[in-house]
Structure 1
Amino acid sequence: MQKRMNINAIEPKALKAMMGLETYLSEISISKTLKELIKIRASQINSCAYCIDMHTKDALKNGETQQRIFLLNAWKESEYIFSDEEKMALAITEEVTLIQQKGLTDATYEKALSFFNENQIAQIVMAIVTINAWNRIAISSHLPVGKNFA
């Protein structure tokens, strides 16, 4: 892959703004486990190798199992592997990431209210929006897997 711009070096204010979102996400009420599942799943959908690599490693350090990571792209068929709450967050992740299809549907939003309050749904959406932005940065700038962003 051809080397491309280093956004951190040429647009540090943009990276600082993204890091502001990360600071916000570190303080929200949804669990770290759920945040990592969201990050991995969105990155799988977007085919962002850089982010898949980073967030699977982070998830493992946080106590996630290899089995759950291996089965994440088949979560709908993994009946007993993911909790109903996790499945709901993953459904939201897919609908928001694949926004061109239908976006977050009314049916999914209404069902999500049985697991999360509106604040938590907003936090989940912000986690999804943020990882989707990171995926686009990593893919557009050809970040090599396993390398530091800086």
Structure 2
Amino acid sequence: MTTKISERLDLTKLSSAAYTTMGRLYATADKAAEEAGLESTLRYLVQIRASQINGCAFCIDMHTIDARNAGETEQRIYALNAWRETPFFSERERAALELTEAVTLVHDGQVPDEVYERSLKVFGEEQLAQLIWVIVTINSYNRLAIAQRLVPGNHAPASSS
């Protein structure tokens, strides 16, 4: 049984200047993260995990497609909800996922010092700064997509970077 989901306001048209600015922020954050040495697969894992936590089907669909296109495996994508319980993720990825969860769930106790310190140790200042921007921008886009009820299933894969 397929459920029809109706989209709401089209913010790309009704507030195009703000939406365009958001798109530039997202692209700038992603490019800065890439230039700082954060791998595309790590960025996709972060984007998928935040989208899972936020319940954003549109972004989960988009970023899993892009992750697979960039070489991410099905096994790791499927296990992402339970990343702590698997041997599939590196220390770097684990630190990024832990920070993603803390920032995404900031209402559950802020970002604990031990999570921040572990992330700083693994990434260093420059990469950590860029990683935080990746997390913040995907959380913002999750909220926009959910508020608009964007319908998943029509994403064309991005070129891998």
**TM-score with structure 1 setting the length:** 0.93
The answer to whether structure 1 residue 19 and structure 2 residue 23 are counterparts is yes
Name the CA distance, whole Å, in 1 between partners of 2:150 and 2:84.
Answer: 30
Name the CA distance, whole Å, in 2 between partners of 1:101 and 1:141.
Answer: 25
Gaps of 5+ in 2: 156-161
Contact 2:32–2:130 at 8 Å: present in 1 too?
A: no
Match of 2:100 in 1: 93
Match of 2:154 in 1: 147
The answer to whether structure 1 residue 52 and structure 2 residue 60 are counterparts is yes
Name the CA distance, whole Å, in 1 between partners of 2:81 and 2:64.
Answer: 13
Count of residue pairs brought into register by the alignment? 147
Question: 4+ runs of 1 displaced by more than 4 Å?
Answer: none
Name the CA distance, whole Å, in 1 between partners of 2:7 and 2:49.
Answer: 26
Match of 1:62 in 2: 70
Structure 1 residue 41: deviation in Å?
A: 0.1
Question: Residues 1-150 of structure 1 correspond to what in structure 2 (within 5 A)?
Answer: 1-24=5-28, 25-28=30-33, 29=36, 30-78=38-86, 80-147=87-154
Q: Please state which structure has a larger fraction of its residues in helix.
A: 2
Structure 1 residue 58: deviation in Å?
A: 0.2
Q: Which amino acid aligns with 2:68?
A: L
Structure 1 residue 102: deviation in Å?
A: 1.4
CA offsets, 1:4-37, max 9 Å, x none? 1100011111111111122211232211111100
SS state at 2:9 partner: coil
Determine what percentage of the aligned residue pairs are the same residue: 44
RMSD: 1.1
Name the CA distance, whole Å, in 1 between partners of 2:130 and 2:136.
Answer: 10
